Structure 1
Amino acid sequence: MNLHAVERKLRQMGDEARGLAVIGAALRLRQGAGEIHPEVKRRLLDAVAALLPGGLDDLDREQASALLASVTQALQEARDLFDHPERPPVWQVRDPAMLQAQGQASRVVVRRLASLAAERPALAAALTGRFLDVGTGVGGIALEAAAKWPSLHVVGLDIWEPALELARANVAASPYRSRIELRRQDVTHFGDVADYSLTWLPAPFLSQDVARTALDRLTAALKPKGYLVVGLYAPPADPVGTALAALRLARSGGHLWACAAMEAELRSRGFTAVETCAGQPVTLVMGQRSAR
């Protein structure tokens, strides 16, 4: 690509980056971020209208907060990559608002499982026992699952104390606290055997080696006929989106799994009824442990 073509592409990408900042700034103003010069505010709102013809006015406070957290994370990740391309891969989100927003977004997993279980009696049966929620974060999936299935008991594992601190408060403030247990524990050291009807693994946040060890632990933790459900990140179909997703996950210490590769991992551990349920932003790969 010649210099002029590179310059055109960079100008386009610069406008896209500024557009993301425009949306973030507008969301911050909605939350009372402070005074802004009237002319700047007018131009900012004009830019929002150009970027999002429908505007932001229809968003409630919770939706606006979740979107602001998403924009903030994207901008922070971009700045961190620019400033520190040499840093070791690690997931290190500490901001409480961002952690809570991620937890809120994760609740979609439970809604997806409920929809799938409506057509899969064996999966529906697994939702009445004990559920192991690996990488529970602030407890979003655990709380949503406890609310959805009144007979379900949930054990949530995580090693990130900033998220677990929020999870403890979220669970304590909920009516489901008697059915949710939180543990600060690495899944690779998990030793419960044949005690769960359903186990959940968010694989993109783990390296390949850690994910494979986790799959071994979760397989052993399942009762016969129990289900293992793995969440995979579904990247955009275009090559640029896929490359950026792989880079993002690599910098956080994770791995961009292919669905076929994860299906093979489950089959190699004796799972049956292995299937991929595609979706955005999460694709689910799941299988049932044999009856023996």
Structure 2
Amino acid sequence: MSRVEVPPISAVVRAWCPDWHTHAMATSEPRLAARVDALMTDAWVLAAFASAVNGEPLSEEHGAVLGAAGLAERVSEGWRLRPDHRAELAGRPDADAFPGRIGRILRQAADAAEGVPARPDGDDDAVFTAEGRNSGAQFGEYLDLLAARLPGVGGLLRSEGLRFLDVGTGIGAIAAEVAARVPGARAVGIDVQPRALRLAAAHLAERRLDDRVELRLEDVAALTDAGAYDLAWLPLSVIGTAAAAEALPRIRGALRPGGLLISATALRGAPEERGTRREAVLRWRVDRMGSTPWDAGELAARLVMAGYVDVQEVRTPPHAMALVVARAPH
């Protein structure tokens, strides 16, 4: 078998920019090659970490990568993730989905690097399903947070016969979470992707909730239900700007008087995050995916303009989605 040579990143940069070394020597800025090398190394460390969370034994080379990054330790049987990292991952309901999520983000980054348009439906069914299960578990955490922070939410989630609208239902895991936790609750999950509804039907049947969740191939921008729901969920990550603008008044009309809308955006808009590298990357990812680029402040302002009342942002843990809640007027 012929040997595959792995060129150092400096060689890659030299081929692209032959005068990089002369330029770097003539300026006080960090050398381009060194910065690219550091970024490339970070990407490989992330991949190494994601592939280690399943607890399988690590090769010497794999473990050494994580050890050098402070993420793993050498034990008698070889390398393994640090105990504090293992404990944190074990306590999360989405631990099984973590490798797939990191892989998906790295594939999206690779597409961006090569100028390939974003592929919103590019995940295979297994990854799509794992992401959906994670979304359902995360939504359960959001409900617990809102019940603890906002008057009336706890009572709403104990209301037998609650009606729930799940926009961008995916595999139906969020609708299933509400149906499972609220006695007698019924939900409607809408999505514009036939594949999502096919996977949702299977997921709901597996959880024996298919008789309490109705699935529709429907765009929220064309929603015509009136006064039908006590609770609705609108994640901006699954719809474009035009659809989101149209969705706000339509969901308000679909809610019963006093009904609650929970909306979410990845762009928190917190003062301490503005202008940071993380926020800039999030905004680029949102733009590439064609999602709605409203931060929490803009989302709240648009809800007020759309006629909602009691609009407020609910603080979430750092790096979590920002939640903005609002009610339909009485």
Identify whether the pair has TM-score above 0.5, normalized to the shorter chain.
yes
Shift of 1:116: 1.6
Alpha-carbon distance between aligned partners in 2 of 1:28 and 1:162, rounded to the nearest angstrom: 28
Deviations 1:10-39 (A, max 9, x none): 121011011122224445894x9xxxxxxx
Shift of 1:209: 1.5
Q: Does 1:209 align with 2:242?
A: yes
Q: Does 1:225 align with 2:251?
A: no
Contact residue 263 and residue 285 of structure 1 kept, 8 A: yes
Q: Percent identity at matched positions? A: 28
Q: Is the deviation greater in 115-124 or in 195-204?
A: 115-124
Q: Does 1:8 align with 2:34?
A: yes
Deviations 1:196-239 (A, max 9, x none): 11111111332222111111211110110101111111469262
Q: Which has the higher helix share?
A: 1
Residue of structure 2 equivalent to 1:270: 307
Deviations 1:40-63 (A, max 9, x none): 921112212333134476556975
Task: Provide the TM-score with structure 2 as the length reference.
Answer: 0.77
SS in 1 for 2:195: helix
Matching of residues 1-292 of structure 1 within 5 Å: 3=24, 4-26=30-52, 30=56, 41-51=59-69, 52-53=71-72, 54-55=81-82, 64-85=95-116, 87=117, 91-107=120-136, 108-127=138-157, 128=159, 129-234=162-267, 237=273, 239-279=276-316, 280-291=319-330
Contact residue 246 and residue 255 of structure 1 kept, 8 A: no
Supply the RMSD in Å over aligned alpha carbons: 2.6
Contact residue 90 and residue 253 of structure 1 kept, 8 A: no
Contact residue 157 and residue 186 of structure 1 kept, 8 A: yes
Alpha-carbon distance between aligned partners in 2 of 1:90 and 1:63, rounded to the nearest angstrom: 23
Alpha-carbon distance between aligned partners in 2 of 1:25 and 1:232, rounded to the nearest angstrom: 28
Contact residue 137 and residue 167 of structure 1 kept, 8 A: yes
Alpha-carbon distance between aligned partners in 1 of 2:139 and 2:294, rounded to the nearest angstrom: 18
Where does structure 2 lack aligned partners over 5 or more consecutive residues? 1-19, 25-29, 73-80
Shift of 1:90: 5.3
Alpha-carbon distance between aligned partners in 1 of 2:155 and 2:47, rounded to the nearest angstrom: 46
Shift of 1:145: 1.2
Alpha-carbon distance between aligned partners in 1 of 2:245 and 2:95, rounded to the nearest angstrom: 37
Moved over 6 A (4+): none
Aligned AA for 2:303? L
SS in 1 for 2:152: helix
Alpha-carbon distance between aligned partners in 1 of 2:156 and 2:55, rounded to the nearest angstrom: 45
Task: Provide the TM-score with structure 1 as the length reference.
Answer: 0.86
Alpha-carbon distance between aligned partners in 2 of 1:256 and 1:113, rounded to the nearest angstrom: 24
Aligned AA for 2:133? Q
SS in 1 for 2:31: helix
Where does structure 1 lack aligned partners over 5 or more consecutive residues? 33-39
Deviations 1:236-281 (A, max 9, x none): 9262111111111111111331211111111112222111013242
Q: 1:142 to 1:176 in 2, by over 3 A?
A: same
SS in 1 for 2:120: coil
Q: Which has the larger radius of gyration?
A: 2
Alpha-carbon distance between aligned partners in 1 of 2:94 and 2:302, rounded to the nearest angstrom: 37
Q: 1:232 to 1:62 in 2, by over 3 A?
A: closer
Aligned length: 281
SS in 1 for 2:290: coil
Aligned AA for 1:245? L
Alpha-carbon distance between aligned partners in 1 of 2:93 and 2:328, rounded to the nearest angstrom: 39
Shift of 1:166: 1.5
Aligned AA for 2:125? P
Aligned AA for 2:280? A
Contact residue 264 and residue 321 of structure 2 kept, 8 A: yes
Alpha-carbon distance between aligned partners in 2 of 1:115 and 1:24, rounded to the nearest angstrom: 28
